[in-house]
Every structure is written in structure tokens, then in C-alpha cells.
Amino acid sequence: MNLQTNDFDLFDVPMRFEQDRAQLDARWKALQREAHPDRFAAEGAAAQRVAMQWSVRINEAYQRLKDPLKRAAYLCELLGAPVQAENNTAMPAAFLMQQMEWRENLDDTESAQGLEALADQVASEQRRVQKELARLLDQAQDPVQAVGQVRALMFIERFTQEVNAKLDRLT
């Protein structure tokens, strides 16, 4: 194995957005068993350090591959279209309007039932965006268009955290 290999090759899975979570989990466990530093105790400190590097690399790859947002951003980067969310915040007008509507709804809603309804709306949009990412990355092979969906998913995940935090305060 090569520390510089991409996460998909490391996990021996196809380089695509849609992934089988059970397969990722199983592969992570197998890789961790192979690279566990205790397996190299008899080979000395240098071998254990290398095993530790591998263990860290495997964990980092697993965190990227199991999370749809991180996986999509990573795929875009690998395919030559880095997200650059800190520099590029352009979003379609319709999505901006939806964000404003959600934000107003969040600010105005004081009931758990209302917040749960908002959370359901946002979760539905999150699923739609993930399906669109799968279409753009896996079928259309269009990472440039996928970048906008990755930025939308970033907003949706942050907003979901805000909704959940307000819901926690109310319940």
C-alpha cells in the first residue's frame, strides 16, 4: 500500500459518490487490523511508527468516504473541480431564496412541532441534493456542476445543526 494513494483505491471501492456503507465499514475494520501497530511490536519502533501512520491514513480516508459531504467534495477535487467554499459562495437565486425562507422559519418558530416540520423539509432537500450529486458525479461525470451542489449540502448540514440545537433547547 502507498500512503499517497487516493481514498477510493485505499479502500478498494469504485471512485464514485454512491458507496455501500457496510462495505466501507468492513473494509475499514480489515485495514485497521492489517495496520494495527501492535501487530508490528516485534519489528521495533520504526515499524510501529509506520503502522501508526497507516492507521491515521486509514482513519482519515474512512472519515472522508463515509460522509456524503466530505466524499462529494473529495471527489470533485480528485476530478479537477475543487469546491473552494471559502472563496466561492455563489449560489443559484432559488437556493438563496429557500435559505432565506428556512432562516425566517427557524427564527419565527417556537414550537418543537414546527421545528420538526422544518427539519423534515431540510432533510428532504438534503436527500434531493445527495441524489443530484450522485447523478452529477456518477452518471454525468460533471464535477464542475457538482461543486454547486456540494456548497448547497454544506449549507444544509450547517442549517440542520442550527435547527437541532434550537429543538434541543425547546425540549
Q: pLDDT tens, 37-94?
A: 777 878 888 888 888 899 999 999 999 999 999 999 999 999 999 998 777 777 888 9
Q: Would you say the pTM of this structure is higher than 0.75?
A: yes
Sign of CA dihedral 55, 57, 61, 64: positive
With cell 492507521, the residue in question is: 55
* Distance between start and end Cα atoms, the chain: 49
138's CB contacts (< 8 A; 6+ apart) are: 16, 17, 18
- Give the CA angle between residues 130, 131, 132 to the nearest 5°: 90
Could you tell me the pLDDT band of residue 1, with boundaries at 50, 70 and 90? low
- Tell whether the model's pLDDT for residue 31 goes beyond 80: yes
- Length reported for the chain: 171
